[in-house]
Structure 1
Amino acid sequence: MCEICVYETPVNSDTSHQKYCKHFRQVRISKRQITKSRIIYILNVFAIIVFQLWITFGMTSLITQQLKISLWVTNHTKFLYVISAIYFVMEFVWAFVKTVSKVFPWNLLYLIVTTLLCSFIIATESLEYTDDVPFIAFAFMWTMLQVIVSFAIFIFNDFTVSVLTRVAHVVFAVTISAGQIAFFLRRENKVALVVAGSIGFPCTCYLIVKEVKSVFGKGTYFYPEDNIVLPARNIYGYCWSLYLVILWVYAYSGLRNPIYPTL
């Protein structure tokens, strides 16, 4: 009886060990697959963002460098105001109508339309500045995006749902709105633009870090892998906001005399 017990014990131990090793191997394979799928998801998101920024930069270069197009834009100021109004209405719909931001293909169609509208607005506002300022702002914005992405990789603290994030959202919304109002209504008051740009710059950078971290899957809140349009649209929106606040900071040295008549 004792020999049988001694003989069966290692057999059971080996069997349980084999089961544990098999389970551990399956867990590692599963984690590896999740990691690979997340990497593919991240690459797809940033590919869309780069494509959007490329469209914006191309349209800005076209409008600011081609004299005929620049003159047409400056002579049709009401068109800019109409485009801006349509864009802000679409932004409001994007924020509160979940079908638009989460359901394919409506989110992709919305992404294309808002990117074109946003690119036209940015290009038109860039006409207010001297020739080199928009390109400096684009280069600085692109550099900051790369720095933020590299920085977000090594952040392990979870601040995606913190009080600081909520405060940053509020300050960002107020400063961007105030800056746009100051730009359209009182362009001669450059102090308001510089102040709005100085306050909006750190808030915008912080929100980009939060969004990038959510794309990487770190933190309480993260984007699901079945929706690449929503994070791409959000990060692109913060990127062009970052471009605007950089332009506002350059208001003293780079802002021309008002081209468009004040409302």
Structure 2
Amino acid sequence: MGHNCGIQEADNIGVQRRKYHLNHFQGQHSESEVNFTLNAFGISLLQLIITFSGTCLFIEIPVISKWIKTNQLILWISSGIYLVLQLIWAFVPQLSRTYPYNILYLLFMTLFSMLAIGSDATLYNIDYVYKLFGVSLTVFNISSFVVTVSQLDFTRFNMMTSLIKLFIDLLLQIGQLIYFISKNQTALLITGVIAFPFTLLKVLIEVEMILGNAGIMYNSWWSLFLTILWITVSIDLMTTN
């Protein structure tokens, strides 16, 4: 009987991986599921700390900030490498999801997203950057709360996840390119407004997949932070550099 119960519990866990339910957090889950979820959110928290700390160095140290403003090529290089990493994640799972390559992938993803965010943040006032990091974290926490308490199945959009992510990254790159060519903040505003709902959907999908033990969210701070940052140009948060 105990053996049959164990088989039944394993079957139930398999169902939960496909569709998340609120009772998943009411004691009906295994220790491995708990560890998986904690590890996934722990990785996300570590990425946030690294990204935020690196960005602080870029905007707080005058030498680095001045160098970035006069040598904006680093912004394009880091953004380009980050986009390549996203393509690898979407189309070359052997490199992004197989040990030990997935560890190297995670390190490169975190490093170059930090460089991209830090480089872009040097164009903004320091206080606004700090506040918008807080806003980004708040939006992420609210997204986690929505997934936890609702029974909406965001994972039904999972097949489109890679396309959504690539669309967001390409959109941000195009908006950034138009801004640097025309120096028109409207390009950033339009880019941010268009990307924001897709970014939220991506966060909701990935958080629910983590809670359902179907995948790991490597890094959404780049899209979420830049999307919110660029929306704020409508109230003139840009500095006059």
Matched positions, count: 223
Asked if 1:210 is matched to 2:205, the reply is: yes
2:176 pairs with one of 168, 176, 183: 183
Cα distance between partner residues in 2 of 1:27 and 1:99: 31
1:50 pairs with one of 45, 54, 65: 45
- Does the CA contact (< 8 Å) of 2:86 and 2:166 recur in 1? no
- Does the CA contact (< 8 Å) of 1:55 and 1:119 recur in 2? yes
SS in 1 for 2:217: helix
The answer to which of 74-83 and 172-181 deviates more is: 172-181
**Percentage identity across aligned positions?**
28
Q: Which amino acid letter does the alignment assign opposite residue 232 of structure 1? A: M
The answer to which of 198-207 and 45-54 deviates more is: 198-207
Q: How far is the alpha carbon of 1:75 from its aligned partner? A: 2.7
Q: How far is the alpha carbon of 1:246 from its aligned partner? A: 0.6
Name the CA shift for 1:239/1:65 in 2 (closer, same or farther; >3 Å): same
Partner of 1:232 in structure 2?
217
Q: Which amino acid letter does the alignment assign opposite residue 239 of structure 2? A: R
* Alpha-carbon displacement from aligned partner over 1:203-227 (angstroms, at most 9, x marks no partner): 2112111111111118xxx33xxxx
Q: How far is the alpha carbon of 1:28 from its aligned partner? A: 8.0
- Does the CA contact (< 8 Å) of 1:175 and 1:196 recur in 2? no
Cα distance between partner residues in 2 of 1:175 and 1:25: 45
Name the CA shift for 1:106/1:172 in 2 (closer, same or farther; >3 Å): closer
* Alpha-carbon displacement from aligned partner over 1:38-77 (angstroms, at most 9, x marks no partner): 1110000000100001001001111101111112222322
Q: Which amino acid letter does the alignment assign opposite residue 36 of structure 1? A: E
Name the CA shift for 1:68/1:159 in 2 (closer, same or farther; >3 Å): closer
Partner of 1:60 in structure 2?
55
Name the TM-score, length of structure 2 as normaliser: 0.81
Asked if 1:254 is matched to 2:237, the reply is: yes
Q: How far is the alpha carbon of 1:198 from its aligned partner? A: 1.5
The answer to which of 47-56 and 83-92 deviates more is: 83-92
- Does the CA contact (< 8 Å) of 1:193 and 1:249 recur in 2? yes
1:154 pairs with one of 136, 149, 163: 149
Question: Based on CA coordinates, which of the two structures has the bigger radius of gyration?
Answer: 1
Cα distance between partner residues in 2 of 1:169 and 1:89: 13
Cα distance between partner residues in 2 of 1:92 and 1:113: 13
Q: Which sections of structure 1, spanning at least 5 residues, go unmatched?
A: 1-18, 224-230
Q: Which amino acid letter does the alignment assign opposite residue 153 of structure 2? A: D
